[in-house]
């Protein structure tokens, strides 16, 4: 599968199966990890964002952080493939070279610990991406989601190629040019586990989005935590560093 980015995605197994994996290769045909090998910075203040779940889809795709080269696969529960209860309305994925350290407690958010994954990203542009696409994006805002007691940041971004990208630079611009979007994102992540019989999720900062400056702070901190992981300063546990 060709991606609009400079990386090539090669699929193994049939989509919608337990065996499905999407592996990444660079321009030299070298297999790479989308988590560890794709740089966080895309230059000119932009960041690289790896798409796991394209907008208007429901298969719960994720980077297999415990497998070599961390390919994208469909999440499972009790041996069965997982699907979101409703199709997601935005492109969803993660920032490479970031990590929410499960031993790191955030005092500003009730002492919650990280969820042991790269930082999640919600892209609000108009185009539907594809699985494995690497998009250049502008950070705009963030929600401090508390999911099963763990801190699970959701960074709100827009593709640099979106027609409205030049107009949108922070959370105030999101409200102006994408009215109701921040509330819709918050409500979606608050409620998406309710159909599974779980309670609504909670958020830090009085359930409000924090702005671009704080979002950039989160990105810098989690990039440093990833560096600690890769240099073995932090325990990897079952995570793959390849």
Give dist(CA 20, CA 3) in Å, integer: 17
What's the whole-number average pLDDT of the chain? 95
% of the chain residues with pLDDT over 90 = 90
Residue 57 has pLDDT above 60, yes or no: yes
The predicted model gives 143-171 an average pLDDT of: 96
CA distances from 232 to 24, 97, 106, 159 (A): 24, 14, 21, 33
Helices (H) and strands (E) in the chain, counts: 3, 16
CA distances from 195 to 23, 27, 41, 83, 183 (A): 32, 42, 37, 11, 20
Residue 35 has pLDDT above 90, yes or no: yes
Q: Which residues of 31-65 are buried (b: 16+ CB within 10 A; e: fewer)?
A: ebbbbbbbebebeeebbbbbbbbbbebebbbbbbb
Contacts for 78 with CB less than 8 Å, ≥ 6 apart? none
Confidence band, pLDDT 50/70/90 cuts, at residue 5: low
Give dist(CA 107, CA 94) in Å, integer: 23
Confidence band, pLDDT 50/70/90 cuts, at residue 224: very high
% of the chain residues with pLDDT over 70 = 98
pLDDT (0 to 100) of residue 228: 96
The predicted model gives 47-67 an average pLDDT of: 98
- Reduced to 3 states (helix: H, G, I; strand: E, B; else coil), residue 14 is coil
- Say if residues 130 and 61 touch (Cβ distance below 8 Å): no
The predicted model gives 9-25 an average pLDDT of: 97
pLDDT (0 to 100) of residue 196: 84
Give dist(CA 231, CA 164) in Å, integer: 39
Residue 4 has pLDDT above 70, yes or no: no
- Say if residues 151 and 114 touch (Cβ distance below 8 Å): yes
The model's pTM: 0.95
Please give the structure tokens belonging to residue 85.
Answer: 């209860």
pLDDT digits (tens, 9 = 90+) for 105-155: 999 999 999 999 999 999 999 999 999 999 999 999 999 999 888 999 999
pLDDT (0 to 100) of residue 32: 98
Angle (CA) 58-70-44 rounded to 5° is 85
pLDDT (0 to 100) of residue 176: 98
Q: How far apart are the first and last CA of the chain?
A: 22
Residue 90 has pLDDT above 60, yes or no: yes
pLDDT (0 to 100) of residue 1: 57
Residue 92 has pLDDT above 90, yes or no: yes
The predicted model gives 214-222 an average pLDDT of: 98
Name the class of domain 8-230.
alpha beta
């Amino acid at each position: 599968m060709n991606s609009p980015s400079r990386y090539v995605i090669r699929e193994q197994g049939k989509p919608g199966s337990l065996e499905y994996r999407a592996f990444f290769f660079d321009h030299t045909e070298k297999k790479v990890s989308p988590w560890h090998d794709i740089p966080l910075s895309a230059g000119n203040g932009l960041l690289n964002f790896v798409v796991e779940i394209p907008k208007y889809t429901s298969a719960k795709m994720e980077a297999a952080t415990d497998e070599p080269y961390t390919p994208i696969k469909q999440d499972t529960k009790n041996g069965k493939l997982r699907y979101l209860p409703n199709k997601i309305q935005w492109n969803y994925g993660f920032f490479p070279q970031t990590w929410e350290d499960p031993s790191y407690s955030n005092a500003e958010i009730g002492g919650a610990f990280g969820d042991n994954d790269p930082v999640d990203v919600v892209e609000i542009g108009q185009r539907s991406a594809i699985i494995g696409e690497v998009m250049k994006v502008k950070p705009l805002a963030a929600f401090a989601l508390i999911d099963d007691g763990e801190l699970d940041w959701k960074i709100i971004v827009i593709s640099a190629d979106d027609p409205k990208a030049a107009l949108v630079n922070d959370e105030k611009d999101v409200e102006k040019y994408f009215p109701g979007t921040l509330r819709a994102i918050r409500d979606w992540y608050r409620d998406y586990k309710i159909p599974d019989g779980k309670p609504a999720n909670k958020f830090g900062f009085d359930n409000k989005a924090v702005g671009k400056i704080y979002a950039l702070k989160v990105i810098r901190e989690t990039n440093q935590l990833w560096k600690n992981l890769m240099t073995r300063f932090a325990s990897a546990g079952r995570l793959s560093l390849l």
